[in-house]
Structures are given as structure tokens and as C-alpha cells.
A and B are shown apart, each in its own frame.
Chain A
Amino acid sequence: MYKPKNINLIFAFFSGLVLLFILGPLVGMLLDTPVSDIFDAGIDNDVQKSIGLTLGASFFGTLFFSIAAIPFAYLLARKEFKFKRLISGIIDIPVVIPHSAAGIALLGIASRDSLLGKAADAMGFSLVGHPAGIAMAMAFVSLPYLINAARNGFEAVPIRLEKAALNLGASSFKMFFSISLPLAWRSILSGLIMMFARGMSEFGAVIIIAYHPMTTPVMIFERFGAYGLKYAQPIALIFIAISLAVFVFLRWLSGKNAHA
């Protein structure tokens, strides 16, 4: 006989397993790491610099690329054009390819011989081994999260509201900034948070563009390779804590904005 309670129990059991799978290694690492080691890593100048670089590069990468990504998402949400499906597929490429391969591909366009590399050279820096290059690598792999979230947000704005704005005298630009953007803002903010979070945790593409200066994921890898698990764990813990704090703060902020 069918008993809904039984199915709920079974599903709850599986849910517990998944949660345990996520939390187990993190809690295990926390319990395994002496507080003094975490403290020592926290006051380590290199670690602090690395965390600052990681957060900064991801933040500016997200900000810079969002300027083009948000209008792009609007076009995808509102307009019908040739090869739209193909273009939608292209957007998701960074998610599905190995990130080290993405790094290699990026290195091709960021190296000194490339057009972009030459342009950076003219401005007095090289993208390879530079925070700007790191930001670019982070943005490359995380941009789809923003574009897709923003596109969903724009699609959810009733088209009649935009028509009404135009009928009330708004130009297309005014309509976009006064109606479409504010109404899709919650999804866009969510996409920005996802892009930022995904960008700062990027390792594969970043290590190929820049081993130095070291982002925190690269530093964790380097400490693990050179000194072993005990030396990598405290930094990993600090970075996880900061990531979670930033993530929770931004989520709270986006929720607050949505209800404002």
C-alpha cells in the first residue's frame, strides 16, 4: 500500500546523505586544523595579499564584464534573430569545457604576441601574470552565470510594461533603465553574485594565466604541493570562511533590495 510518509522518509535519508557529502569534508577539515595554525595563516602577509587579490580580481572582473553582459542578456531575452540558439549555446561553452583548457585558450589571446597582449603592453603591463589577466580568466569561466540569470530576469519582465513605458513617452534607453533593469534587478544581482563567487574560486584557468601573483586557490595548491596537507588546510579554511561570509552577505543584500 502506498504510504506518503514512507517515501518522505526515504527521500529525507537521501537528502541527509547529500548534505553529509557536502558538509563532511568541510567539518572534517575544520576539526583537523588547530586554531593556532588558522591564526598563523590569517596573519601571514602573503595569505592576506592573496585573498585581497582573489576578491578584488573577481569583483572587478564581474563589474567590468557585466557592462556588456547585461545588455547582451537583454537582447537574448527580447529579440529574435538568426543563430540565436547557436549563440545561446556558445555562452555556455565556458561552463562545459575543462577550465585548464580555457586557460590555455585565454593564454593564446593574452600573450604578448596577440592583439590584446600588444594593447596591454602598450599600456605598460602584460596580461599574463597580472591581476587584469586573472580577472579576465575568472570572468571567462563565470560569465555564463550572469548572462543566463540576467536573461531569465529580463524574460520575466512582462513585455506590456515596456510597451506601456514607450507609450508614456519613454525612449528605448529610458525604458530599459527605468523599467526593464529595475524589474530584472533581483535576477541580475543573483547572477552577479554567482559570477563573483564562481570567479573567485576559479583555479584551472587562473593558474595558466598567472601563477604569480597568487590567487588563494593557487596558493592552496602551491602550499599543498610544496609543504603538504597541514600547510594547505588553514588557508583553505580561511578562504572558505571568507567565501561563505561574502556569499551570505551578498545574498542578504539582494534579498533586502528585492523587498525594498
Chain B
Amino acid sequence: MLELKNINLSFGSFSISDINLKLDKGDYFVLLGPSGAGKSVILELIAGILKIDSGGVFLNKKNITQDKIQDRSIGLVFQDFAIFPHLNVEQNIAYPLKIKRWSKELVRKRVVELAKQMDIFHLLNRRTTSLSGGEKQRVALARTLALTPDILLLDEPLAALDVQLKKELRSQLRKLHKQGQTIIHVTHDFEEALLLADKVAIFNQGNIIQQGYKNDVFAQPRSEFVAHFIGVKNYFEVTKTAQEWIEVGGKLIFTCNRDKVTDNQPIAIMIHSGDIQLSKFEEGKKTEVNTFSGTVLELYSAYRGFELVVDIGLPLVVNISQKQLLELDINEGDKLNCYISTENIQSIFETA
């Protein structure tokens, strides 16, 4: 469907290099990266707003690198919606249709159809300056979808919305996706990727670091950056491996599932912060394998329960419930045992 081949582009001090992406029809592709990484640039070059220095953009196997913006059949919804302030809602949605010289009746019919689909029919005569963020977003979507683009590009579509509106718009986007719309969605929020994407690409400083099916990328983050970006807090690079153990950070030795270790050389291990069991530290008491004692460096409330940072030679982030916290009577500075079962130590490999 869409393919970016070896794209290079630089302007000023910013550059993107050797970008390769492939999307199939009907994909929901999320480009995930921190602010200022150049994600929006990717959308603008796909749309044809920016000209690339080298490489190629292919849509349905046709090279569209040199095609004009107007001829690409790629719709872009800007982060700030780019609603035309001098036109009302109806005129905004009708704008691309009037450009294409549709008849008045057809324009009206299509506008009504889109407005109903986006649930903004009651707003058609409103001035756009009086709309809320969520309403503007829907108007922008309706306007972009008016000419049924092959690909819909969304630049941080949920960034400016509150929690409730985010939920509503996510549901709208899922609906669009189910109807077969191919979507590329740019965001800095990994939760959006988690909730919407089929495929993801992790992007940083002008480069794609990792891409693939969402479940694969999220299960096998191949760098600390990717791991941290998708919410993994305990990601340790492997410094040595043997049949039955893995050394991480040059300090800690984890006993591991032997098959996984020997089949392929792991580059890192990942431990979910909820998969760590805590117990009181008792001097001289023998502990199981993969039990590490350490001091609580930080303790703070988290999305669910509490989060602790325990220094076991490396900082280990642990999530516990309020009940556990009270039972163990944990305070900052306390010494604890952290146990990680071998099944919960996930090895990350160079190749899947």
C-alpha cells in the first residue's frame, strides 16, 4: 500500500535519515516517539508538503515522490486541526469538495453524511472559533475524509483532548479503521499505540529504531530507549551469558530459563515491575535463586497502588498494591528482598 524507501531529508540542524516503512491496506500504523523527534516531518513528507532529499515514496506500488500534494490522495489532520477560522463548520467540510467542483447538491449530501458519521451534524452552521477541541478534531477529520483519501495521516490527534474526549475519539478512530481506512497516527503516548495500533514504529532523533507488529515490538523492545518509551521500567543490558545464567550491567547474575538462553544470545532482559515479589529482609536467612536484597530508594503513589525503586545493585522498579505496602510496612531506606521468578525474566534477542 504505502512504502517509504531510504528516505533522507535535512533542513537546518534537523535531519531524518534512511527511513524505511511499509504499510498494508487497512493497517493502523502508529509512529511513536518523543516530542521533537521528527515524527510530524514523516507525515508531511508522505503528504508531499515537504520534499525529500533522496529516497522514494510509493503508494500502491506507484512512485509518488515527485507527485504534487494535491494529487496524492493522502489526507493529513494537523495537530492543531488547522480549521479555517473564516469558514463555518459546513464550509470547512465542504472545502475540498468545492475545490474538486462537486455540484452543490452532492457537496451538501456528502457534508451531511460526514457530519452524521462524526456526530457533528448539529454544529454545521456554527462558527469554528466557538468549537471545543474535540469538536474541532471531528470537523478536521470529516474535512479530511471528504474525498476518501487512500491513507489518513493523524498528527498527535489526541494530544489536546481531555480523558473523556480521548476515549470518544479513540472509539471513532477504531470505527474508521474497522471500515477499512488505512491510518498512520503519530504520537508520543505509548498508550495510544497500545490501544489503537496494529503496527508500530519507534522513532527518535530522525531515525526509526524499531518497527513491526505492535505485540512483537512491545514484547521485544530491542533497546533501552524503546523499552522505556513503551513503559518498561526494568530493562537491563546483558553483559555476559552462560548456559544457566545471565549477567546484567556487569553486576547482577540472574538464573534463567536455560532453553531461551542457549537458543539465541539475549542482548537484554526485561522484568515487568508488577512481576517482582517483595519480602522483608532477614539477615542470614537463605533465599531462593533470583532473590536480591536492596534498599528502598524511592516510594511514591502510582497509577495503581505504589511504585518503589529498590537498589539491588541496579535500580529495580517495583509495583505493589496498597495492601502489600501496609502488610510489609515499607518506608524509604528499608531493606527488602526482591524475588523474580525465572518465567518473569524476559530475554530480548537481537532478532525475533
Interface residues of A (CB under 8 A from B): 158, 160-161, 163-171, 174, 178-179, 182-183
Alpha-carbon separation in the docked complex, A166 to B95 (Å): 11
Alpha-carbon separation in the docked complex, A168 to B92 (Å): 10
Q: Is A168 a contact partner of B95 (Cβ separation < 8 A)?
A: yes
Q: Is A183 a contact partner of B76 (Cβ separation < 8 A)?
A: no
Q: Is A170 a contact partner of B78 (Cβ separation < 8 A)?
A: no
Alpha-carbon separation in the docked complex, A169 to B96 (Å): 6
Min CB–CB distance B144 → chain A (angstroms): 7
Q: With CB as the reference atom, state the residue of chain A lying closest to B75.
A: A167
Q: Determine the chain B residues whose CB is within 8 A of the CB of A169 once the complex forms.
A: 70, 96, 99-100, 147
Q: Determine the chain B residues whose CB is within 8 A of the CB of A171 once the complex forms.
A: 70
Q: Is B95 a contact partner of A160 (Cβ separation < 8 A)?
A: no
Alpha-carbon separation in the docked complex, A169 to B144 (Å): 10
Min CB–CB distance A24 → chain B (angstroms): 43
A-contacting 9-mer, from B53-61, B80-88, B337-345: B80-88
Q: Determine the chain A residues whose CB is within 8 A of the CB of B268 once the complex forms.
A: none
Q: Is B78 a contact partner of A183 (Cβ separation < 8 A)?
A: no
Cβ of B348 under 8 Å from chain A:
no
Q: From residue 128 to 161 of chain B, which have CB atoms closer than 8 A to chain A?
A: 143-144, 146-147
Q: Is A163 a contact partner of B86 (Cβ separation < 8 A)?
A: no
Choose one: A158, A161, A167, A182; the contact of B76 (CB below 8 Å).
Answer: A167
Cβ of B69 under 8 Å from chain A:
yes
Min CB–CB distance A175 → chain B (angstroms): 9
Q: Is B84 a contact partner of A179 (Cβ separation < 8 A)?
A: yes
Choose one: B44, B85, B86, B144; the contact of A168 (CB below 8 Å).
Answer: B144
Min CB–CB distance B14 → chain A (angstroms): 16
Choose one: A160, A174, A178; the contact of B82 (CB below 8 Å).
Answer: A160
Q: A164-B76, A165-B95 are in contact. Are A170 and B70 (CB under 8 A)?
A: yes
Min CB–CB distance A156 → chain B (angstroms): 12
Q: A160-B78, A179-B84, A183-B85 are in contact. Are A166 and B69 (CB under 8 A)?
A: yes
Q: With CB as the reference atom, state the residue of chain A lying closest to B72.
A: A167
Q: Is B80 a contact partner of A168 (Cβ separation < 8 A)?
A: no
Choose one: B80, B86, B144; the contact of A160 (CB below 8 Å).
Answer: B80
Q: Determine the chain B residues whose CB is within 8 A of the CB of A165 once the complex forms.
A: 84, 95
Q: Determine the chain B residues whose CB is within 8 A of the CB of A167 once the complex forms.
A: 47, 49, 69, 74-76, 144
Q: A169-B100, A169-B147 are in contact. Are A163 and B84 (CB under 8 A)?
A: no
Q: Is B143 a contact partner of A168 (Cβ separation < 8 A)?
A: yes
Min CB–CB distance B123 → chain A (angstroms): 19
Q: Is B78 a contact partner of A168 (Cβ separation < 8 A)?
A: no
Interface residues of B (CB under 8 A from A): 44, 47, 49, 69-70, 74-76, 78, 80, 82, 84-86, 95-96, 99-100, 143-144, 146-147
Alpha-carbon separation in the docked complex, A201 to B82 (Å): 42
Q: With CB as the reference atom, state the residue of chain A lying closest to B82.
A: A164
User: Can you name 18 A-B residue pairings with CB atoms under 8 Å?
Assistant: A160-B78, A160-B82, A163-B82, A164-B78, A165-B84, A165-B95, A167-B49, A167-B76, A168-B99, A168-B146, A168-B147, A169-B70, A169-B100, A170-B96, A170-B99, A171-B70, A178-B95, A183-B86
Alpha-carbon separation in the docked complex, A179 to B85 (Å): 9
Q: With CB as the reference atom, state the residue of chain B lying closest to A160.
A: B82
**Interface SS of chain B: helix, strand, loop or mixed?**
mixed
Q: A167-B47, A169-B99 are in contact. Are A161 and B70 (CB under 8 A)?
A: no
Could you say which of B75, B82, B85 has the most chain A C-beta atoms within 10 Å of its C-beta?
Answer: B82
Choose one: A161, A166, A183; the contact of B49 (CB below 8 Å).
Answer: A166
Alpha-carbon separation in the docked complex, A22 to B301 (Å): 67
Min CB–CB distance B42 → chain A (angstroms): 15
Q: With CB as the reference atom, state the residue of chain B lying closest to A164.
A: B82
Q: Is A161 a contact partner of B84 (Cβ separation < 8 A)?
A: yes
Q: Determine the chain A residues whose CB is within 8 A of the CB of B84 once the complex forms.
A: 161, 164-165, 179, 183
Q: A170-B70, A183-B86 are in contact. List 5 more A-B contacts (CB 8 A).
A: A160-B78, A167-B49, A168-B95, A168-B147, A183-B85
Min CB–CB distance A125 → chain B (angstroms): 42
Choose one: B47, B82, B146; the contact of A158 (CB below 8 Å).
Answer: B82
Min CB–CB distance A180 → chain B (angstroms): 11
Q: Determine the chain A residues whose CB is within 8 A of the CB of B75 once the complex forms.
A: 167-168
Q: Determine the chain B residues whose CB is within 8 A of the CB of A174 once the complex forms.
A: 99
The 7 closest A-B pairs by CB, nearest first: A164-B82, A168-B96, A169-B99, A160-B82, A166-B69, A167-B76, A169-B70
Could you say which of A160, A161, A168, A169 has the most chain B C-beta atoms within 10 Å of its C-beta?
Answer: A168
Q: Determine the chain A residues whose CB is within 8 A of the CB of B86 once the complex forms.
A: 182-183
Min CB–CB distance A171 → chain B (angstroms): 7
Q: Determine the chain B residues whose CB is within 8 A of the CB of A163 once the complex forms.
A: 44, 49, 76, 78, 82
Q: Determine the chain B residues whose CB is within 8 A of the CB of A179 once the complex forms.
A: 84
Q: Determine the chain B residues whose CB is within 8 A of the CB of A183 once the complex forms.
A: 84-86
Min CB–CB distance A254 → chain B (angstroms): 15
Q: Determine the chain B residues whose CB is within 8 A of the CB of A160 once the complex forms.
A: 78, 80, 82
Q: Determine the chain A residues whose CB is within 8 A of the CB of B100 once the complex forms.
A: 169
Alpha-carbon separation in the docked complex, A178 to B95 (Å): 9
Q: Is A166 a contact partner of B78 (Cβ separation < 8 A)?
A: no
Alpha-carbon separation in the docked complex, A158 to B85 (Å): 11
Alpha-carbon separation in the docked complex, A161 to B80 (Å): 10
Choose one: B70, B80, B143, B147; the contact of A166 (CB below 8 Å).
Answer: B70
Alpha-carbon separation in the docked complex, A165 to B70 (Å): 9
Min CB–CB distance A68 → chain B (angstroms): 24
